[in-house]
Every structure is written in structure tokens, then in C-alpha cells.
Amino acid sequence: MRRLIIGTCAIFLGLAVYSILMSSAANTIGLEGELPYYLLNKGLFAVLLLLLALALGHRDLVALNCQPRLSTLAIFWPMLLIALSITAGAEQPASDPRSLILLLLIAVAVGIGEEVLFRGYVLHWASFGGVRFQIVISGITFGAVHLLGLGSSIPAPVILAQVFFAAALGMIFASARIRDNSLCLPIVVHALFNFLAFRAAGGIHSTFEHPEQVIPGMLLAGTIALAWAIVLIYRAPGFRSTIADQQHGG
């Protein structure tokens, strides 16, 4: 428990400090444009996190392997449903090649960074409580980290809806990670989901431009995802997991 609390607090503090430093660095070098900034921010973070995990010998601890089972894809059906809904309702999706490439790279970087942190380290630190505990804690902390957005220009009600939405999705990602003992599918699905959402909105901040639409959508999608997550949590003891056996690794 002590390691989980300290580690999670370190993640929250580290992300807050990193965000401040990146904002300052972007201003110093005169980086202009939303997409170049996010690519530098998220891309550098993903690279640094991967290098740190590998340098510390944590490849197995955070499940940095690609041994997915195709049957695990079925776990992600709420994401498919939500992504199709978002895509179908897009009014002005991003279409120029440069923007699409940048959005894809950002989505991949976000997927890697968030999955390694929350389905890698946090999930491992919570292994003392069993599989169900791991899933719940991974989801809750993933949702809670979005509270850092309260310091941004995004309206607070949108951030709170995002916290609920992200927590529910986080539990689904955690279930898949535990089932395969691999971050491969969670990273791929996370990146693809973000890319489709960014593209449909025509950018990143524009995803939250219409609170009257975004909040009900997130709450509805989050409720569907949470209902499925509860089913997965109920089934969790049947998942194959070797996480508890890896505690000696970190």
C-alpha cells in the first residue's frame, strides 16, 4: 500500500511539474501551434518514460511486450461503439495530411505514456490487493490524473466528466492488460481511440469546445464503459495474470 500511495503521488506531482516545464520551454523556444506543442510534450514524455523503464529493468514489470491474444480485442467493444459514434457525428474532421500525421503521432505518444504509467506501474504497485483491486485502482487513478486539467482553459464541468469517462475506460484497459499480461493491445487501442477522437474534433482542444455536447456524451459513454468494466471486474479472478509474481521486480 505504501508503495502504491507514494508512487501514485509521485506520478501526479511529476506530471504537474513536467507540464509546467514544457509550457515554459515551448515559450522559450517560440514553439507555435497546438499540434507541434503537443507532439513535443507527449512525444518527449513517452520516450523518456520508455527509456527509464528499460534502464531500470522494468520491461517485464510494466508488461512491455507484444503477446496479445486476438480474443482480448472483444473487451474493447465500448471503445469501438464510442469511436464510431464520435466519427459519425464529426462536423469538421481534420483532413490535411500534416495534421493527420501529427495527430496520429500525438495519439501514439499519449497511448504509450498513459498505459505505461497506469496499466504498467500503478497496476503493478496495486498487485498486493488482487486482480480486482488492480483494475479499480488503475482506473480511478487514471481518471483522477485528468483533474490536473482544472488548471487549463477547459471548463471545470468538462474536466469532471472526463475524469468519470477516463476512469471507466481505464478499468477496461486494465482488464485487457491483466488478461494478456501485455501492454500491446491497450497501447494500440488507446492510441487509435484518441486519434479518431482528435480527428473528429479537428484538433485536441477543440474536442472540448462545446460543453453542452461534450458533457452528456462523456457521461453516457462513461456509464456504458463503467457497466462493462463492472462485468469485467466480476470476471477478473478468471483472468490469467502473473503480475503478483513479479513484485520482486520493483
pLDDT category, 239, cuts 50, 70, 90? Answer: low
pLDDT confidence tier of residue 249, bands split at 50, 70 and 90: very low
Q: What is the pLDDT of residues 58-108, one digit of tens each?
A: 999 999 988 888 899 999 999 999 988 888 877 767 678 888 999 999 999
pLDDT category, 236, cuts 50, 70, 90? confident
CA trace torsion 144, 147, 148, 150 (10° rounding): 180
**Tens digit of pLDDT for each residue in 175-211?**
999 999 999 999 999 999 999 988 888 878 777 777 7
CB 111 within 8 A of CB 190: yes
What pTM was estimated for this model as a whole?
Answer: 0.90
d(CA 153, CA 138): 26
**What value does the mean pLDDT take over residues 148-172?**
92
